Amino acid sequence: MNEKGQVRDVYDAVADPTRRKLLRMLSDVEELPLHEITVHFQMGRTAVSKHLAILKDADLVIARKVGRETRYRLNATPLKEIKDWVSFYEGFWKERIIKLNLILEEQKMKPDVSLDFQFTNSIEQVWNALTDPDTLAKWIWKNDFKPIVGHKFQFRAEPNEWWDGIVDCEVLEVDEPHTLSYTWLSAGESTTITWTLKKGSDGTIHLHLDQTGFSEETKARQGAIEGAKYAWTNMGAQLGKVLAEQ
């Protein structure tokens, strides 16, 4: 019992690092006398005894007299209260970490650039505009594209003082006439372009563009992603003009 005649709170008892060391020490043995415990601390027997008394008040140690010496052993049962308390918050944080990871995965999967275009042409005509090198050159740039998975090709634009005008690509997916995907490596930035085509109930062809994989540095650079959106929007408008001529 403590000075108020009440059982000491187990949390208060284990709050002190010296008392936690005492519990750890007693957990490795069946029983220890006071003099053997004291040699492990830079304090006298009286100070160690006070710490043991606090642990005894919390029912964390059991003391017994053997002649003139007091021997101590661990009673771990009250620690279950702490274990249960900690377990609740472990579950609390585990659940939130799982939710955080899901949010991060969703953000990772979310495209950096996402645009939609609509055309009144047939789906075959739109697909051809995405895959025929000569037609591609009319609304993107000159190229040596082939709709074959694994094919490596380039888009070649007019170079300027900031850019060599070269985009290195590799075809990743070809599902005619619904999905086309290829890498897009330019100026050290590697992303993925994915075109998705769907025919609406009114016959309109819905063309969706996703560009994913921009580096965090690029995302943080003001105007970089908006610049990419602007460029693809202009190219989409040019595609519309090309298709309108067919």
Those residues with Cβ within 8 angstroms of residue 57's Cβ, 6 or more apart along the chain or in another chain? 1, 2, 7, 8, 13
pLDDT at 3: 43
For the chain, which residues make up each domain, given as ranges?
A: 10-79, 106-244
C-alpha span between 134 and 104 (Å, rounded): 40
C-alpha span between 64 and 32 (Å, rounded): 10
Under DSSP, the state recorded for 175 is E
Query: For the domain 10-79, what is the CATH code?
Result: 1.10.10.10
Domains 10-79 and 106-244 in one fold: no
Is the pLDDT at 1 greater than 50, yes or no?
no
C-alpha span between 205 and 118 (Å, rounded): 6
Structure confidence by residue, pLDDT tens digits, 33-85: 999 999 999 999 899 999 999 999 999 999 998 888 899 999 989 888 888 88
C-alpha span between 62 and 126 (Å, rounded): 83
- Mean predicted confidence (pLDDT) in 115-129: 97
Under DSSP, the state recorded for 21 is H
Q: What is the mean pLDDT of the chain?
A: 89
The confidence band for 2, taking pLDDT boundaries of 50, 70 and 90, is very low
Closest to 147 measured CA to CA, from 166, 159, 129: 129
Under DSSP, the state recorded for 44 is -
Q: Which amino acid is at 61?
A: V
Q: Which amino acid is at 129?
A: A
Higher per-residue confidence, 178 vs 7:
178
Is the pLDDT at 126 greater than 70, yes or no?
yes
Structure confidence by residue, pLDDT tens digits, 205-222: 999 999 998 998 888 887
pTM of the model: 0.58
Direct distance between the N- and C-terminal alpha carbons of the chain, in angstroms, rounded to an integer: 95
Check: CB of residue 208 under 8 Å from CB of residue 199: no
The confidence band for 100, taking pLDDT boundaries of 50, 70 and 90, is confident
pLDDT at 104: 60
Is the pLDDT at 8 greater than 90, yes or no?
no
Closest to 111 measured CA to CA, from 175, 50, 194, 185: 194
Residue 55 tokens read as 């642990």
Sheet holding 152-156, edge to edge: 113-119, 205-212, 189-199, 179-186, 166-175, 152-156, 142-143
* Record: fold of 106-244: Alpha-D-Glucose-1,6-Bisphosphate; Chain A, domain 4 (3.30.530)
pLDDT at 103: 62
Q: Which amino acid is at 160?
A: N
Percent of the chain with pLDDT over 70: 94
Under DSSP, the state recorded for 188 is T
pLDDT at 124: 97
pLDDT at 91: 78
C-alpha span between 204 and 116 (Å, rounded): 12
